[in-house]
């Protein structure tokens, strides 16, 4: 017997060396299920002849949730604390189960029953929650990473979701904030939030890095801010110079004098307690600060069409202005601590426009060929 259909899934059934092998292929496509069957049968024949390492699998006894928990334990040793925290919240729904988790979306069952329909479930739940295609792709990406890890551990014979492509996402233009709008937001929020917004307006770092800023990261003598590898996407130390920002240097100096025993630049108003019951200082939750910014912008009716104005818009504004000033994209990417140049490519249209404008000005100024007047900006 080769393959047969049970509900929507094809199952395999064959014998090798007088031993019967039967289970789910995890596929709803007959051709792919047949390929799975043929590959597994060939591997089992080689295994019986001692030509291949034994395939270690728990068959139908290992569950999806059990394997996910094992995957999260492995991730804790391989990822930064912040990355592990995001994965934990994504899979389990966070501390207070405020968000729909991936576990809720896919449901439990035998591990070998994983197939492309699980990704359909994740997308369906995401659509019902009103998530963007970008967020849904992030969820499916994490699910596919989990399945790939399970294959590496030999818990699955083949990857049943490797062929599933991400949803097409419309490329968004960098969202920038006008000076007058940013000033209105600054005047609409408490002083401590105003400080956070202003500092990011000056240096353009990610909110997750800024909100955790400690005084020992700020070198006032050599005038730079240093972010440790554990907090950076690149996984290595990043330094941001503030030599050209004397007002920012003075702000940090005065604030440190006012809080000589402080650790965080912006400590939370609600200190936490450790296991011994001792109060310890902690920083504000990035999501709370981001929400405060968005709510302030919404209260004031500030929108950057066609998108909402968010805290990350400050970073986009910072990057766009450097590109407008003629900074090379490679250098801009280093300043923004991007992993690769592809992340900085969104600002390429700004750099191209500046390059074209400068070229036109240079041509017009030289006036060597009257025909070149045809390319002047604003000409018909």
Q: Read off the CATH number of the domain in which 190 is found.
A: 1.10.443.10
Same domain, 146 and 70: yes
User: 169 in a domain, yes or no?
Assistant: no
d(CA 322, CA 338): 15
User: 59 in a domain, yes or no?
Assistant: no
Give the pLDDT band of residue 109 (cuts 50, 70, 90): confident
**How many domains in the chain?**
3
- pLDDT of amino acid 1: 56
Which structural domain range is residue 23 located in? 3-48
Same domain, 23 and 148: no
Q: Which of 353, 333, 355 is nearest to 343 (CA)?
A: 333
Q: Taking a C-beta distance cutoff of 8 angstroms, is the pair 158, 148 a contact?
A: no
* pTM exceeds 0.75: no
Mean pLDDT calculated for residue range 115-121: 89
Same domain, 87 and 13: no
Hey, CA dihedral for 332, 336, 337, 342, is it positive or negative?
Answer: negative
Which tokens is 215 given?
A: 């005084």
Same domain, 206 and 296: yes
**Least confident among 197-206, 241-250, 299-308, 343-352:** 343-352
Which pLDDT tens digit goes with each residue over 294-342? 999 989 988 776 667 888 888 888 888 877 777 776 777 777 777 666 6
Q: Taking a C-beta distance cutoff of 8 angstroms, is the pair 281, 270 a contact?
A: no
- pLDDT of amino acid 275: 63
User: 358 in a domain, yes or no?
Assistant: no
């Amino acid at each position: 017997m080769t393959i047969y259909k049970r509900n929507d899934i094809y199952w395999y059934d064959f014998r090798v060396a007088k031993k019967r092998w039967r289970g789910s292929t995890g596929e709803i496509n007959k051709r792919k299920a047949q390929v799975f069957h043929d590959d597994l049968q060939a591997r089992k024949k080689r295994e019986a002849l001692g030509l291949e390492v034994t395939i270690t699998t728990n068959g139908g006894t290992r569950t999806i949730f059990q394997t996910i928990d094992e995957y999260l334990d492995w991730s804790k040793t391989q990822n930064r604390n912040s990355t592990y925290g995001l994965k934990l919240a994504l899979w389990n729904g966070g501390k207070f189960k405020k968000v729909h988790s991936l576990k809720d979306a896919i449901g439990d069952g035998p591990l070998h029953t994983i197939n492309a329909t699980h990704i359909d479930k994740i997308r369906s739940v995401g659509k019902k929650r009103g998530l963007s295609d970008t967020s849904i792709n992030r969820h499916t990406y994490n699910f596919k990473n989990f399945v790939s890890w399970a294959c590496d551990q030999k818990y699955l014979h083949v990857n049943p979701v490797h062929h599933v492509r991400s949803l097409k996402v419309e490329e968004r233009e960098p969202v920038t904030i006008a000076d007058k709008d940013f000033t209105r937001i600054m005047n609409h929020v408490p002083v401590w939030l105003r400080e956070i917004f202003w500092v990011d307006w000056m240096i353009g770092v990610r909110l997750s890095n800024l909100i955790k800023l400690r005084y020992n990261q700020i070198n006032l003598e050599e005038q730079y801010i240093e972010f440790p590898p554990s907090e950076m996407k690149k996984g290595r130390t990043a330094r941001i110079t503030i030599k050209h920002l004397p007002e920012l240097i003075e702000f940090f100096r005065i604030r440190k004098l006012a809080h000589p025993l402080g650790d965080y630049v912006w400590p939370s108003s609600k200190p936490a307690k450790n296991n011994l019951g001792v109060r310890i200082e902690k920083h504000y939750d990035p999501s709370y600060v981001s929400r405060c910014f968005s709510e302030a912008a919404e209260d004031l009716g500030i929108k950057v069409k066609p998108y909402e104005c968010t805290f990350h818009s400050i970073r986009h504004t910072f990057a766009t202005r450097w590109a407008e000033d003629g900074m090379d994209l490679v250098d801009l990417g280093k300043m923004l601590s991007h992993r690769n140049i592809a992340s900085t490519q969104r600002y390429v249209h700004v750099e191209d426009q500046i390059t074209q404008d400068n070229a036109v000005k240079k041509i017009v100024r030289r006036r060597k060929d009257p025909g070149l007047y045809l390319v002047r900006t604003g000409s018909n």
